[in-house]
């Protein structure tokens, strides 16, 4: 919340177009830390990666100041398990828009994530430590921004970027379950929202994601830009990702009913222990 308040300093800082560049770069780093690191990799195991890449993705996710990897993953897995029911931590369908967006952060005892639902992650001591020290990567990045760009670097570069990523992530929980189209009847409110699709680097194709939650690719149609998936492909190019899970072919637009299901999407229970992916 403090980073939101820090934006009050913006009128006192002389604007420079360089700050726009800062925001674009920083929102990519913190944003991909959330969409690829916390979401597609740690929560859904949609691809495999070396243990050091897993750690770096988790560190990048922490820079977004949305708490630690275990906390984030635990609540997101609960969201998928109980989507838009009273057990969903942040359903706008059940609790209204304000609750689904940020209100849920204040209404529940959210400090201790359920260890069972993240048992595949707690076996890595570095992730458990990162969970305790989740603010450190963000503080270090903020300090680096201040060292490089003074107050402008800190406020525009780090604080504004963090707030933008924060709001877009939480808009996927709220707007992404209320407004947009539903390509698939998933039995809950998830939507493909065009604006969020682009702003959230692919995570806004949320109805697609709920239909095939273990798929690394969220944008199913050619016009559903998915920068996070492009980044995963980039990681794969450098040998830092493999075993990338794709949506079943019959779910893709234009597929016929007889289209083959290969490669299949694993439909494991959230939190299920998966094969050791560390190399």
Of 40 and 48, CB closest to Zn ion = 40
Place of tokens 């194709």: 205
- Compute CA distances 185 → 9, 87, 90, whole Å: 45, 20, 20
Nearest of 178, 162, 197, 115 to residue 4 by alpha carbon = 162
Among residues 155 and 227, whose Cβ is nearest to Zn ion? 227
Min. distance of Cβ 258 from Zn ion in angstroms?
29
The span from the CA of 44 to the CA of 67, in Å, is: 18
Whole-angstrom Cα distance, residue 157 to residue 144? 10
**What is the spatial distance between Cα 253 and Cα 273, in angstroms, rounded to a whole number?**
32
Dist. CA 243–CA 83, nearest whole Å: 27
Residue placing its CB nearer to Zn ion in the complex, 60 or 172:
172
Residue in the structure block whose two tokens are 């195991």: 45
Specify burial of residue 207 (Cβ count, 10 A radius: 0-12, 13-18, 19+).
buried
Q: Of 72 and 134, which has the nearer Cβ to Zn ion?
A: 72
Between CA 123 and CA 278 the distance in angstroms is 11
Least gap, CB of 173 to Zn ion (angstroms): 6
Shortest distance, position 61 Cβ to Zn ion, whole Å: 14
* Residue number, 10 or 178, with CB nearest to Zn ion: 178
Contact in structure between 43 and 73 (CB atoms under 8 Å): yes
Task: Quote the least distance from Cβ 218 to Zn ion, whole Å.
Answer: 9
CA angle 195, 134, 276 (to 5 degrees): 85
Least distance (Å) between residue 40 CB and Zn ion: 8
For residue 253, the minimal CB distance to Zn ion (Å) is 21
When the beta carbons of 48 and 77 are compared against Zn ion, the nearer one is: 77
Q: Which is nearer to Zn ion, 63 or 190 (CB)?
A: 190
Residue nearest to Zn ion (CB): 190
C-alpha 58: how far from its chain's center? 11
Q: Which alpha helices (H) appear in 133-199, and where do they start and end? A: 135-152, 161-174, 194-199
Least distance to Zn ion, CB of residue 256, Å: 28
Enumerate binding residues for Zn ion (CB under 5 A).
190
């Amino acid at each position: 919340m403090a980073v939101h308040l820090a934006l009050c300093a913006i009128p006192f800082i002389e604007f420079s177009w360089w700050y726009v560049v800062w925001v674009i770069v920083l929102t990519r780093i913190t944003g991909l830390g959330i969409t690829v690191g916390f979401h597609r990799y740690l929560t859904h195991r949609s691809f495999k990666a070396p243990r050091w890449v897993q750690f770096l993705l988790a560190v990048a996710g922490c820079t977004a100041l949305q708490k630690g990897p275990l906390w984030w993953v635990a609540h997101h897995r609960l969201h998928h398990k109980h989507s838009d029911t009273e057990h969903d931590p942040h359903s706008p369908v059940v609790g209204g828009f304000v609750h689904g967006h940020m209100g849920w952060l204040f209404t529940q005892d959210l400090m201790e994530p359920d260890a069972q639902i993240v048992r595949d992650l707690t076996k890595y001591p570095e992730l458990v430590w990162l969970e305790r020290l989740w603010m450190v990567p963000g503080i270090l990045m903020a300090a680096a921004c201040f060292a490089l760009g003074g107050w402008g670097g800190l406020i525009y570069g780090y604080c504004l970027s963090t707030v933008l990523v924060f709001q877009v992530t939480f808009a996927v929980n709220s707007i992404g379950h209320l407004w947009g189209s539903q390509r698939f009847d998933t039995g809950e409110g998830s939507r493909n929202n065009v604006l969020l699709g682009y702003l959230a680097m692919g995570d806004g194709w949320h109805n697609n994601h709920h239909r095939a939650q273990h798929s690394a690719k969220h944008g199913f149609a050619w016009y559903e830009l998915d920068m996070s998936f492009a980044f995963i492909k980039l990681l794969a190019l450098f040998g830092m990702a493999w075993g990338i899970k794709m949506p079943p072919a019959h779910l893709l637009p234009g597929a016929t009913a007889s289209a083959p299901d290969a490669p299949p999407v694993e439909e494991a229970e959230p939190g299920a222990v998966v094969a050791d992916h560390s190399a």
